[in-house]
Structures are given as structure tokens and as C-alpha cells.
Amino acid sequence: MEGTMRGVCKMRPGKGAEYRTDLPIPRIGDDEVLMRVRASAICGTDLHIYSWNEWAANRMKNLPIVFGHETAGEIVEVGRNVSGWQVGDRISVETHIPCNHCFQCENDRRHICENMKLFGVTEPGAFAEYAPVPKDCIVRLGDGVSYEMGAMLEAMGAGVHGVEKAEVRLDELAQEAQDAASDYLRLQDIYREREAAEDELAHLYAEWERLAAELEEAKG
């Protein structure tokens, strides 16, 4: 696909980013698809890149680049080595791009690839109208999943992984929720009791002042 597109680009080291209307539409490789971006979310990583902290300065050596990695869209072009995908497919994107050749990748641990690249960090990302997506990073969206929901799949995945890692059980969650609700109701009761006690003290203090005033008047 030829032409230009709009996008947010990290042009140079330092704080900030630029909105551009003259970015070339990416030319995909044989192992990529071109995605028309329909939704993107802002991640904490994007804030690091915008602010240009130490992590961003050490990781990003290929400026200028379009950043942004939490995204979803539709395929508009398919590379010659990509099978099982076609124009019009609705997709999300896995951020981590494995090399498929290192020891970790060859032993089914591609998530800790020794030569890991990152979509939207070390490679062009999704804060633009179009983005090139490696075939290893394509995630199909179900018919009931909106583009906005698709853009949040990676963020949701982090939470799901944490729950699975902690081996949290639904019955345990339900019991914790019930206990929390009971604690909340008890706190409400305590607060009401305290309010009632404070009202009673205020009444007693007012009565004491009245009696003290009457005593002084009687002495006079």
C-alpha cells in the first residue's frame, strides 16, 4: 500500500512526541501483515517513552519511530509467507517479537527470547493509522470482542497471569468478597455508633453548660 498516514512519532531523544500527517504507510515484509488500526490504548511504557526516562533511553536506539503497542484493528495486506490470515480479519497484537532461533525459542520459551524485539518500542507500533505486525504476534479477535476490548488484551493478560500464578480459586475470591462486604457493613455500624455517641456527648455537654450557668446565677 502506498501513501502517507497520520501518527504519533518519537522523533528524537528527550521528552515529548510529535503528531505527524506525513508518515509513510509501512511496507510489510514477507512475514508480516499490515493492520489498519481501529483502537489503541496508552500503556505505562508509552509514558516512559514520552517522558524519556532511563529505561526508554537504554531500550530505544532506532528513532524516529511510531510507538504504541496496545492495539487492535483489521488486516488490509498479507505478506507472502503468512498463512491462515486474510484481508478483513480482525486482530489484536502480542507485543513480544521472538527471534525463533535462540536457545530459549527452540525450547518453547519464546517469551524469554534472548533477542526479543518489542512491537511499538524497538519496532514500529500502533499510534498511527497503519502498523506492520509480525505473523508471530497476530491474535484473532472473536466476533463478540470489540476493537476497544481487543486493544486491552495484553493488559488483561497480565492480570490473568497473576491470578493463575497465585492459584487463586473462585470460591476463595467469593469468600474474600463476602468477608470484605461484612467488614464494610461492620465499619458502617461502628461509624453510626460513634456518631450516636458523639451526639450524646454533645447533648450532655450542652446540659452541663446550662446547669453551670444556672449555678453561677444562683450564687450571684
Measured between alpha carbons, how far is residue 106 from residues 64, 110, 111, 133, 170 in Å? 32, 8, 11, 22, 35
If you search the block for the grid coordinates 476490548, which residue do you land on?
149
The active-site residue out of 4, 21, 48, 203 is 48
Can you list the alpha helix ranges (DSSP code H) found in the chain? 44-51, 54-59, 103-106, 147-150, 153-165, 170-219
Query: Taken in order 129, 131, 135, 140, is the CA torsion positive or negative?
Result: negative
DSSP string across 40-98: EE--HHHHHHHHT-HHHHHH--S-SEE---EEEEEEEEE-TT--S--TT-EEEE-SEE-
* Residue 4 designated active-site: no
The active-site residue out of 4, 45, 69, 71 is 45
* Residue 45 designated active-site: yes
> Which residues are known to be catalytic?
45, 48
